[in-house]
Amino acid sequence: METSLSFLMDDGFTSGILYGPWTPLYGIGALIIIFLSKKLFKNLHMNKIVETIIIFFIVTGILTLIEFISGNLIEKILNMVYWDYSDLPLHYGKYICLPISLIWGTLSILFIYIINPLCKNIIKKIPNYITIIILIYFILDIISTIIVKFN
């Protein structure tokens, strides 16, 4: 969402450390959401509403922790600040705040119940050669980012 908005607005905003149109942090977050929701749904066996509330709080907490750790690591390693929530209410340092955490939790529930099931069907229809081309582009982006940012 942020990358698309940035592209449309052409404001120089970037949401990730790579040059290409992706943010690995979001991919890692999505994988964690998928893994956790499968594990929790498999083990909880509760009312769907109760399960959803439990998953909301667990995923919100984990994504907030990931955002906090990632923001601090990026600042320490790359000496860059990609986001700063200091001006928002209920923030803790630059990298996390309650309103944004609640947005991530809400988006995670939408992802679990709506987006991921839709994407599964679309992904199955993508030819392997397209996946390989995107993977090569991603790897080249990682390499070029490492060369430029660490030299």
Number of domains present in the structure of the chain: 1
As a whole-number percent, the residues of the chain with pLDDT over 70 amount to 89
Question: Is 146 part of any domain?
Answer: no
Predicted confidence (pLDDT) at residue 11 exceeds the cutoff of 80: no
Question: Is 46 part of any domain?
Answer: yes
Stretch 33-54: mean pLDDT, rounded?
Answer: 86
- Report the distance separating Cα 82 and Cα 14, nearest Å: 7
For 57-98, how does the pLDDT look when each residue is reduced to its tens digit (9 = 90+)? 999 999 999 999 999 998 998 888 888 899 989 999 999 999
For 110-129, how does the pLDDT look when each residue is reduced to its tens digit (9 = 90+)? 999 999 999 988 988 999 99
Confidence at residue 10, expressed as pLDDT on a 0 to 100 scale? 55
Question: Is 90 part of any domain?
Answer: yes
Confidence at residue 110, expressed as pLDDT on a 0 to 100 scale? 93
Taking the chain, what is the end-to-end CA distance rounded to the nearest angstrom? 30
The model's confidence at residue 15, banded by pLDDT at 50, 70 and 90, is low
Confidence at residue 8, expressed as pLDDT on a 0 to 100 scale? 61
- Report the distance separating Cα 109 and Cα 84, nearest Å: 24
Predicted confidence (pLDDT) at residue 5 exceeds the cutoff of 70: no
Question: Is 100 part of any domain?
Answer: yes
Question: Is 150 part of any domain?
Answer: no
Question: Is 143 part of any domain?
Answer: no
Instruction: Find the domain containing 77 and state its range.
Output: 2-118
Question: Is 133 part of any domain?
Answer: no
As a whole-number percent, the residues of the chain with pLDDT over 90 amount to 45
Question: Is 34 part of any domain?
Answer: yes
pTM of the model: 0.78
